[in-house]
A = this chain, B = another copy of it.
């Protein structure tokens, strides 16, 4: 009980002085010209299906196909010369690894990506293509965080965490800053923003940027149905994990744990959870393909699919 309250306090009273809209603006200034300013797409047919005017931030068009390079590059650019020269290490079987590898290449910084020896060959090859060294581990017998920390210790490298870090969150938040600028250009004030969420790096950063500009916008967090660890964290005030690994197509948002820092930001912005089924994720993939001409993985299309099937924004207003 005492421990629980202690963690609860950690969420609600986390020191926010390091994470605010200024941190995101600084990140945007660092990333200027180094990442893609992805378009905010609108399809009248898609809006009709959604039952509202719908905009889709096409982050699939980002370098390496996901938002992950934003946070990683912001963190590397925030490091001092000595640390950058020594290099970085990250653990990931997915988009984070490629994002970190591409970020490291952009600033000529050595990078090690720790990947399970079961990782698909294409993901290993992609990390190597970007110039990173891949260190394999056996997920049956080894812990990836320990492997990464050992590499970091032995080589004097810095670990780039996947989400629960203010530099990472600020970097992902630049995606939200672009959304704000793009909506302002269209003279649109959003009622709500729905964000795909695993650990909460993207969701917290984007929420911070959007709420700064549009304080009345509702924040909705798309998670794997039945495994809503962030929604449970928001409700209880205690960072939650999923008790088992979800068997889902939405693997891109099926990470095991929520972050303490990310959840604190989402709680401050009164985010609401939104459970997404595999079928809804596939509906998002199909709609993106047909109406937006975008190739998106199921986890990346979860929020879109849920908006098209569940109409959650109308539900919020009622």
User: B293–A65 contact, CB under 8 A?
Assistant: yes
Which of chain B's residues have a CB closer than 8 A to the CB of A37? 39
Q: A39-B36, A39-B38 are in contact. Are A45 and B296 (CB under 8 A)?
A: no
1/0 per residue, CB under 8 A from B, across A46-73: the answer is: 0000000000001011010100000000
User: A61–B295 contact, CB under 8 A?
Assistant: no
Chain A contact residues, majority secondary structure: mixed
Q: A36-B39, A61-B39, A61-B41 are in contact. Are A296 and B295 (CB under 8 A)?
A: no
Which of chain B's residues have a CB closer than 8 A to the CB of A129? 45
Check: A294 CB closer than 8 A to any chain B CB: yes
- Give CA–CA (A198, B58) in the complex, Å: 29
Check: A292 CB closer than 8 A to any chain B CB: yes
Which of chain B's residues have a CB closer than 8 A to the CB of A41? 36, 61
Q: Which of B45, B289, B292 contacts A61 (CB 8 A)?
A: B292
User: A293–B61 contact, CB under 8 A?
Assistant: yes
A122 to chain B, nearest CB (A): 10
Q: Which of B36, B44, B295 contacts A294 (CB 8 A)?
A: B295
Which of chain B's residues have a CB closer than 8 A to the CB of A65? 293
Chain A positions 286-305 with a Cβ under 8 Å from a chain B Cβ: 289, 292-296
- Give CA–CA (A44, B98) in the complex, Å: 13
Which of chain B's residues have a CB closer than 8 A to the CB of A60? 293
A3 to chain B, nearest CB (A): 44
Which of chain B's residues have a CB closer than 8 A to the CB of A39? 36-39, 61
Of all chain B residues, the one with the shortest Cβ separation from A295 is: B293
Chain A positions 11-37 with a Cβ under 8 Å from a chain B Cβ: 36-37
Which of chain B's residues have a CB closer than 8 A to the CB of A296? 293
Chain A positions 304-318 with a Cβ under 8 Å from a chain B Cβ: none
Which of chain B's residues have a CB closer than 8 A to the CB of A58? 61
Q: Which residues of A contact B (CB under 8 A)?
A: 36-39, 41, 43-45, 58, 60-61, 63, 65, 129, 289, 292-296
Supply 4 further A-B pairs (C-beta < 8 A) apart from A36-B39, A44-B63, A60-B293. Answer: A65-B293, A289-B295, A293-B294, A294-B294
Give 8 nearest A-B pairs by CB, closest first: A60-B293, A293-B295, A39-B39, A289-B295, A65-B293, A293-B294, A61-B293, A295-B295
